[in-house]
A = this chain, B = another copy of it.
Amino acid sequence: MSIRSRYHHGDLRSALLERAEATLRKVGVDGLSLRQLARDIGVSHAAPSRHFRDKQALLDELAASGFERLGQRFAEAATAEGPVTERLYGMARAYLRFAMDNPELLALMFTRKQRSTSPDLSASVQHAFAVPVALIASGQEAGEIVAGDPKRIGITCIAALQGVATLVGSDFTDYDADQLLRDMVRHLTDGLRPRP
């Protein structure tokens, strides 16, 4: 960061992403403007276009990085000690923690506008989702989970968690997140139909 190199920022791309995520957290997507981002970083308002084709491209990268981090948290929970169902519950808690720590980012991750999903984003999603699917497959081997395509069961679980995250974030209910999550896990595990 010599005085000479202040004209060329050096790593404007990373700086934009970093600042964008901070702004997203503080003021939400609607409050995020490329011009303000550029101002914050101290660069002209036209500079970002060198690194992101348009605003949506920057948002797509934020979403992709979100899925990468979510995938990491999944992986940590999946490789913990204990029976599969315990680890699945750990993953569920990791999901909800991520959702509550990054509510605006999560909304961005699952809002696909009417644009085609970028290959980058798609790869991050597949990578993240693969973790619970694998865990479910090993749960089936251990006889802890019913038979069936682990991919389909995994997607069902992710959908359930995403729903909990959405409801928690919408404050349409007074139940706290932990209780909602426990209810969901319990009912999805044991079923709503009474067991004999």
Residues of A bordering B, CB below 8 Å: 28, 30, 85, 107, 110-114, 117, 122, 125, 129, 143-146, 152-153, 155-164, 166-167, 169-173, 175, 179-180, 183-184, 187-196
The residue on B at minimum CB distance from A163 is B163
Instruction: Give complex CA distance A187, B88 in Å.
Output: 15
Contact partner of A184 (CB less than 8 A), chosen from B110, B159, B170, is B159
Instruction: Give complex CA distance A162, B129 in Å.
Output: 18
Pair B187/A129 contact, Cβ less than 8 Å: no
Q: Which residues of B contact A159 (CB under 8 A)?
A: 160, 163-164, 166-167, 180, 184
Pair B192/A143 contact, Cβ less than 8 Å: no
Pair B156/A184 contact, Cβ less than 8 Å: yes
A160 and B145 in contact, given A113-B28, A117-B172, A172-B125 (Cβ under 8 angstroms)? no
Closest CB pairs A-B (n = 8)? A191-B191, A163-B163, A159-B163, A162-B163, A190-B191, A159-B167, A159-B164, A156-B183
Pair A190/B187 contact, Cβ less than 8 Å: no
Pair A146/B193 contact, Cβ less than 8 Å: yes
Pair A122/B175 contact, Cβ less than 8 Å: no
A145 and B110 in contact, given A163-B159, A166-B162, A167-B159 (Cβ under 8 angstroms)? no
Contact partner of A188 (CB less than 8 A), chosen from B85, B162, B172, B188, is B188
Instruction: Give complex CA distance A193, B195 in Å.
Output: 11
Pair A167/B162 contact, Cβ less than 8 Å: yes
Pair A183/B152 contact, Cβ less than 8 Å: yes
